[in-house]
């Protein structure tokens, strides 16, 4: 991990692959690759696929079309995922999957 200097001249850890694109003097877009989530074994294969698509930012309608099922089915699968992983929203799900070391197995 590289060290980056902040505006007050302190350093913070930054991913080696960090890219910065400056749009103007006050706006910079930072980007870096993110590892794919490690999906908990407690989920079924279908639930793992739904969780992965949520992690990638897909909406329920997009997931339903990609999987060839109804939006209601995706909603039901998300409810099951939330219950199994003890989360209450897709934001919490994404945060949990992004930190897979704490996800239930």
Q: What is the CATH number of the domain that holds 85?
A: 1.10.10.10
Tell me the pLDDT tens digit for each residue of 55-95: 999 999 999 999 999 999 999 999 999 999 999 999 999 99
Question: Is the full-model pTM beyond 0.95?
Answer: no
Residue numbers of the domain that contains 53? 45-102
For Cα atoms 40, 46, 52, give the angle at the middle one, nearest 5 degrees: 55
Tell me what pLDDT residue 2 has: 54
Q: Per the domain annotation, does 72 fall within a domain?
A: yes
Q: Per the domain annotation, does 36 fall within a domain?
A: no
Burial annotation 36-45 (CB, 10 A radius, 16+ → b, else e): ebebbeebee
Tell me the pLDDT tens digit for each residue of 20-60: 888 888 888 888 777 788 899 999 999 999 999 999 999 99
């Amino acid at each position: 991990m590289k060290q980056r200097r902040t505006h007050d001249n302190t350093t913070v850890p930054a991913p080696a692959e960090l890219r910065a694109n400056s749009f103007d003097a006050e706006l910079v877009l930072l980007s870096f690759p993110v590892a794919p989530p490690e999906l908990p074994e407690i989920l079924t294969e279908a639930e793992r696929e739904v969780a992965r698509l949520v992690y990638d930012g897909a909406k329920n309608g997009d997931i339903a079309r990609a999987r060839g099922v109804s939006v209601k089915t995706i909603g039901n699968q998300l409810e099951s995922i939330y219950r199994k992983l003890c989360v209450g929203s897709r934001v919490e799900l994404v945060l949990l999957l992004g930190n897979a070391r704490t996800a239930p197995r």
